[in-house]
Amino acid sequence: MSVTGRCLCGAVTVTAAQLPAEMSACHCEMCRKWSGSVGMGLPVPEEELSVTGEVQTYASSSFAERAWCPTCGSALWFRDTKGKNVGTVELCPGLFENAGGARLVREVYADQCPEGYAFAGDHDRWSRADYEAREQFVPEGGE
């Protein structure tokens, strides 16, 4: 059964054929600034997603973009535009009731998390070095 989420003002809706049971969190500097704190994502195949309403995007690097609602500013998704992860959209869990019911399974750039907060629980924690050994990344100081 499909699941629909919406931004704060309701001008944008995103409907996924289904949502994954697992989500991840990222503490990299770009995610911290874009989200206001922690970037979190529910990975969904792009072809299973439908979106209504006006959306704006920002190319945050040469291989990825971030989308938001131009009316209320709600973060909508992050997606790669180049490389092996093209075709997957990381939807912001906050668009959905109860974060879509997903469970946090991975925290990346865990060593970049600000000192004043932390996620509790038993899940994978990848340091910046762990992440950058496996995935595309923007080098320190930009591209």
Measured from the CB atom, the residue of 28 and 75 that comes closer to Zn ion is 28
Does residue number 7 form part of the binding site for Zn ion (CB under 5 A)?
Answer: yes
Tally: H helices and E strands in the chain? 2, 11
Identify which of residues 43 and 47 has a Cβ nearer to Zn ion in the complex.
43
Stretch near Zn ion under the rule CB under 5 A, chosen from 43-51, 66-74, 89-97, 120-128:
66-74
Per DSSP bridges, beta strands 56-61 and 22-26 are unpaired
Assess 26 for contact with Zn ion (CB under 5 A): yes
Beta strand pairing call for 3-6 and 39-45: unpaired
Tell whether residue 72 is a contact of Zn ion (CB under 5 A): yes
Rounded to whole angstroms, the Cα distance separating 3 from 14 reads 8
69 binds Zn ion (CB under 5 A): yes
Under rule CB under 5 A, residue 29 binds Zn ion: no
SS3 140: coil
For residue 28, state whether it binds Zn ion (rule: CB under 5 A): yes
Gap between the Cα atoms of 103 and 112, Å rounded: 21
Residues that bind Zn ion (CB under 5 A): 7, 9, 11, 26, 28, 31, 39, 69, 71-72
